[in-house]
Amino acid sequence: MKKITRVGALILLALSLASGVMGQTSTAVPQPNSQDNEPAVSAPGKSAPVSNSPYGADYVIGADDMLHISVWKEPDLTVSLPVRPDGKISLPLLDDVTAAGLTPMHLANEITTRLKKFIADPRVTVVVTAMNSQRIFVTGEVVHSGPVPLLPNMTVLQALSAAGFNQFSNLKGIYLLRMDNGKQVKLPFNYKEVVKGKHSEQNIQLRPGDTVVVP
């Protein structure tokens, strides 16, 4: 009888231990790691600003153009300024720098080279914000007399369409004044013939500084 009681006690003890182990296993639910649910944040990389211009990479800077020049992480060296009539700009640390005749990228490279004397690894951006050097003039018997922005491949006919004629305009006697090798030349333009498809050679592409005269 004692053996049966002892065996029964051992069986009950074994069942109790097994139940405890199963209970621990069922409740051992792994806790979510908050870091695993957060999106990975990459460290910001160093990307140098790119020197550019809304007028194209081949645009040549001229007098009266407006430039925005910035140096990465150097706010004291970031400026917006016009190109002087002598073709130069004045920058902090560098004084006068020739800008006219250079593309924005070439000017950025020039400023970068000169800033290396003062700053480690300067990164310069040059942007032409106003193309004031690229303009022509329309004068005489027109509705809108004065400077006209010179658009790419702009012709005499396109400039006249922007200026508009009045009732006194002599459409057959229009001419273009242009400086060529230091001399002023006069090129005729017969509006009535050109719009009819005749003398298309008169409808030439304009250059900066050209003046279209409507008598």
**Taking the model in full, what pTM does it have?**
0.58
Residue 93, pLDDT > 50, answer yes
Q: Which residues pair with 119 in a beta bridge?
A: none
Q: What is the pLDDT of residue 149?
A: 87
Q: What is the pLDDT of residue 152?
A: 82
Q: What is the pLDDT of residue 131?
A: 85
Q: What is the pLDDT of residues 27-54, one digit of tens each?
A: 344 444 444 443 333 334 444 444 455 5
Q: What is the pLDDT of residue 49?
A: 42
* 66-130 CATH: 3.30.1950.10
User: Three-state SS for 169?
Assistant: coil
Q: Categorize the per-residue pLDDT at 6 as very low, low, confident or very high, splitting at 50, 70 and 90.
A: low
Quote the distance between the C-alpha of residue 16 and its chain's center: 77
Q: What is the pLDDT of residue 124?
A: 96
Rounded mean pLDDT, 12-34: 45
| Higher per-residue confidence, 194 vs 47 | 194
Residue 24, pLDDT > 60, answer no
Quote the distance between the C-alpha of residue 141 and its chain's center: 38
Distances (CA, A) of 102 to 65, 98, 108, 210: 12, 8, 9, 21
Rounded mean pLDDT, 156-185: 94
CATH 3.10.560.10 fits 135-214, yes or no: yes
Q: What is the pLDDT of residue 16?
A: 54
Residue ranges of domains in the chain: 66-130, 135-214
